[in-house]
Amino acid sequence: MGDLEGAGASSRRLPRRPESVAEARRFVRAAVDGVAPVLVDTVELLVSELVTNALLHARTDIDVSARVEDGTVHVRVRDQRPDRKLLPQECPAYIGTGQGLAVVSRLASRYGVEADEASKTVWFELGPDGTPSRVAGWGPAEPPDSGEHVTLIDMPGALYVASQQQRHTLLRETLLAAAAGFDLGVPPEDLTTAQDVSNLISARVTAVLRRGPAEKEAPSLSVRLPADAGPAVETLRRVLDLAEKAARDEHLLTLPPLPRSGVFQQWLFDQIIGQLAGGPATAWTMVPRESGASPVELVPWDAAQVRSSRVPTIAADERNRIIAANGPAADMLGWQADDLLGRPLTALIPEHLRERHLTAFTSLLLSGQPRILGRSIPLPALHRDGGLVPVRLFIQTQETTDGHTVFVAQLTPRASAPPASAKAPPGRSRPAAVQDPRGTPSDLPGGEAVLDGVPDGAVAGAPRNDPDYVGLSALERLSLLVATSAVMSNTPDTEEGLRGAGRIMTERLADWCAVDLFADDAQVQRICVVHRTPHDLRPERYEGLLPPVTDAARGPLARVLRGAGPLLLTGTPSPSQSAGPLDTHYLDLLGHLRAHSAIVAPLRARRQVIGALTVARGDGRQPFTEEDLSLVDELCRGLALGVDNARLYQETRNIAERLQRSLLPLLPNVEHLQLAARYAASSTTAQVGGDWYDCFVVPNGETAVVIGDVTGHDLEAAVVMSQLRSMLRGIAVDRQEPPETVLRRLDMANHTLDREATATCIYGLVRGGPDGPWELVHSSAGHLPPLLTAPDGRTRYLDAGSGLLLGMDPDAQRPTATDMIPPHSTLLLYTDGLIERRGESLDAAMERLRRRASDLAGEPLDVFCDELLIGLGADNDDDIAILAVRPAPPATPG
């Protein structure tokens, strides 16, 4: 193989130009004439890949040699750049670049590379039977033996793969466009520099990744790069910016990067440029969060995370197909989880929103610009029976380990069910003392040590009285108790609070900890597993629903959930302790997370066991002793109090939400009026408030429309809202008086209930027969003015008839106003949560609503309301209530 030609070989020198790839294919086809046609096709494919690689990366003239000997085809491709080492990549079949060497290695019988001082030759052989080789022959990658170290802290591997594939594809497309004479504004010398430094970064990072531990999800890499590479990386950044713009303008075949990939790439370039200039390293996890980018997300896509999540979650791929769904999401939408797999995502989207979804999804892929990624959007989902389910949609992207993008959507019901209760599960009493399986009573307040069935603390090797053992000092114990209690007190969300407390415990006390809680249905949920080094063992895989606590279960967790403990476990648990699925699951957890010493203790609230805490230490750590039992028991008291308070808070909030939603009325069926209404609670505070709407027909046939907002965002505001709504209906139906009089009577009644309650409200009457004309007679108690939108998009606010808020002066005279409502126009009543934003003037907010309503003037009324809520209600800090009325005269017979 030393000579290019070899005996009987034909060779050809090809110039550095794109057309040389086609010339090489024609040359080898003629040179191997006479072998089996299938071999000719394979040889033509492989030489095409090798010549393309040489043109792209070596950029020199190329010598191609081909011969046939004893039925075996020998092909060699030589360039004049021996310094450009090969970079074989493990590439998925779907990507558009970087597959050349992978294709050769899979199809050739033998292959390899040779280099001397002047040239580099890549060769392959293809036997007569076409059987591919399974032995790689590209040789080791070039060792990065010179340059400066660049540290990439917490670099997510899956996101790097996606970013690298996107970068190479954009550069290849830009090169092809330039070769075809299309001007993208990229100077040829800059494109050459960008390709070279991109390949250098890929080679060096890939080499380091291959040497690192395979199980590490977000490693910190130390990559050696040339000290003068900074300007070249800046050039690469500029070229990619121009290429991405061309991709967004559809001048390239490839798509622009999605938000998170783009943010990651900028971070990568900033780290290289900054550190080569002497700057400090910044971890990827420290990048400020951007909507749709989510730089703190480190875990690659794993369908098991969706299936084990307690939040209704659905995942879709880049083809808009559902690839994972969990039980809560399927139950909420009337499906079985497995039946959703493979269906288009539009199966869960109401028909009037499908076109909008497809437009937004296509726009995201084509432009790379997000609209709703990383934002909480109120909208309806489609139930299997055709009904609508009000939800808040929160979508984020994740990357697979081979570079795919997955869209993960959480669907939070806007009328949530009660959370898991702190009460004892049915049929499980909590006595003051329980019988230990060994026949020994176990008092609830006390502690008990158990190891492999050894009773009463008689544990072999336990340093019960070891004089060299130094535990936490009194100050450290107190600090730990205060810190965990504080994080639980300051976090109303139970899971978030427990994870925060877990992080504190793993910093100061243990290698890992787990919290299990009873749910309403007597099942046990593992709420969180927190590990000191989570990227090594991925503890989240152990979270979720646990096997039931059966009478047969005799393991430490089952005993604690029945009221025993705290229990001390040292050494490796024995399989003999496993008497049921729960025991097996728990022992697997201890084994997989390498626990050699643990304490499991009950969480008690209001004299009931609501769950259990496990803290554990592994090899190299001083085992827990009986002296640690009291500390863990105190930790459990603080955690249990925090869980109980969070549940009470959640229960109170859900009572108010259910009360509020139960008071939202069914809209009447009025022959000549189309009516639609929407309500969405705050997405940021998740608080309840006093927003409400109402619509009913008074005895004289007029249609009453009401919108209101009680001051406050708590249960008291919801109660006051319910009182005002009921009183207003009673007064309006009984008296049938003008709107200003009804509001004055309502204000007087309000003062008899609570003189400090204030609220805004609009009460109006829509008058007119089936054929019109229609008018709105209304009075406003300090509320934002209704918006009237004509069918042609013209808008105006009906700002007459405004008076004092309710609760200010019940004796004050209230104004009234009358406005005509043209046929097919839309009258919109709304609360301030729809438009107000912190730091923005009210005039700007109202102008935004006007423009949005004008754009939707021709849409059906349900679409009009949904689009307003989606477009203006994302991430709102306040509740939103809207009521829309549209006169619809009967069609004129043709």
Burial (CB count <10 Å: 0-12, 13-18, 19+), residue 641: middle
Residue 715 · residue 649 · CB < 8 Å: no
The alpha-helical segments, DSSP class H, found in 95-229 are 100-107, 157-179, 188-211
Q: What percent of the chain has pLDDT over 70?
A: 81
Closest CA to 459 of 650, 656, 596: 596
Q: Which residues of 691-716 are buried (b: 16+ CB within 10 A; e: fewer)?
A: bbbbbbebeeebbbbbbbbbbbbebb
The percent helix, strand, coil of the chain (3-state, each to 5) is 35, 20, 40
Residues in the chain with pLDDT values less than 70: 1-8, 87-98, 130-146, 212-219, 286-300, 402-403, 415-471, 492, 534-537, 571-579, 653-654, 656-657, 659-661, 663, 683-689, 713-715, 754-756, 875, 891-894
* Tokens, residue 76: 């060699």
| CB of 657 closer than 8 Å to CB of 850 | no
What does the CA dihedral 368, 370, 374, 378 come to, rounded to 10 degrees?
A: -150
What token pair was written down for 260?
Answer: 């998170």
pLDDT of residue 145: 54
d(CA 150, CA 158): 20
pLDDT on residue 137 = 61
Give me the pLDDT at residue 8, please. Answer: 59
Distance from chain centroid for Cα 856: 30
Long-range contacts of 797-800 (CB under 8 A, 24+ apart): 797/846, 797/850
SS3 at position 133:
coil
What is the per-residue pLDDT for 140?
54
SS3 of residue 241 by DSSP: helix
User: Would you state the pLDDT for residue 300?
Assistant: 67
d(CA 688, CA 709): 12
Hey, how many other C-beta atoms are within 10 angstroms of the C-beta on 564?
28
- What pLDDT score was predicted for residue 607? 80
Q: Cα(317)–Cα(301) distance, rounded to whole angstroms?
A: 11
Compute the C-alpha angle 862/863/865, nearest 5°.
65
Instruction: Identify the burial level of 93 via C-beta atoms within 10 angstroms of its C-beta, where 0-12 means exposed, 13-18 middle and 19 or more buried.
Output: exposed
DSSP code of 56? I
| Longest Cα separation, the chain | 112
Q: Which helix (H) or strand (E) holds 869?
A: helix 861-872
pTM of the full structure:
0.60
Find out whether 642 and 488 touch, Cβ atoms under 8 Å: yes
H or E stretch covering 885: strand 880-887
Cβ–Cβ under 8 Å, residues 711 and 758? yes
For the stretch 340-374, pLDDT in tens is: 999 999 899 998 888 888 888 887 877 777 777 77
pLDDT at 714: 67
Residue 576 vs residues 563, 589, 674: alpha-carbon distances, Å: 22, 16, 69
Residue tagged 């176990």 (tokens): 442
Residue 730: both structure tokens together: 């009673």
* Run of H or E including 482: helix 474-489
CA–CA gap between residue 293 and residue 622 (Å, rounded):
42
Strands 774-781 and 690-697, bridge-based pairing:
unpaired
CA nearest neighbour of 100 among 108, 29, 403, 821: 108
Tokens of 400: 């697979």
The whole-number pLDDT of residue 595 equals: 87
Q: What is the 3-state secondary structure (H, E, C) of 628-664?
A: HHHHHHHHHHHHHHHHHHHHHHHHHHHHHHHHHHHHC
Q: What is the pLDDT of residue 157?
A: 78
Tokens, residue 159: 């996101």
Distance CA 127, CA 75 (A): 12
Task: From residue 274, give the alpha-carbon distance in Å to each of 151, 277, 371, 740.
Answer: 11, 5, 31, 67
Q: d(Cα 566, Cα 449) in Å, to the nearest integer? A: 7
Check whether the bond before 773 is cis (ω within 30° of 0). Answer: yes
User: Is the alpha carbon torsion for 482, 487, 491, 496 positive or negative?
Assistant: negative
Q: For residue range 116-128, list pLDDT tens digits in order.
A: 888 989 999 988 8
The torsion angles phi and psi of 454, rounded to 5 degrees, stand at -85, 120
- Residue 555's region, left for phi above 0, alpha for psi from -120 to 50, else beta, is beta
User: Which residues, 6+ apart, have CB-to-CB distance to 634 below 8 Å?
Assistant: 477, 481
Q: Return the pLDDT at 864.
A: 94
Residues 420-444 as b/e (b if ≥16 CB within 10 A, e otherwise) read bbbebbeeeebeeebebbeeeebeb
What does DSSP say about strands 787-789 and 826-830: parallel, antiparallel, or unpaired? antiparallel
DSSP string, 414-477: SSPPP---SSPPTT----SEEE-TTS-EEETTS-EE-BTTB-TT--TT--TT-TT-----HHHH
408, β-bridge pairs: 315, 396
Strands 703-710 and 690-697, by their bridges, are antiparallel
- Residue 823 CA to residue 332 CA, distance in Å, equals 39
Residue 428: the pLDDT is 33
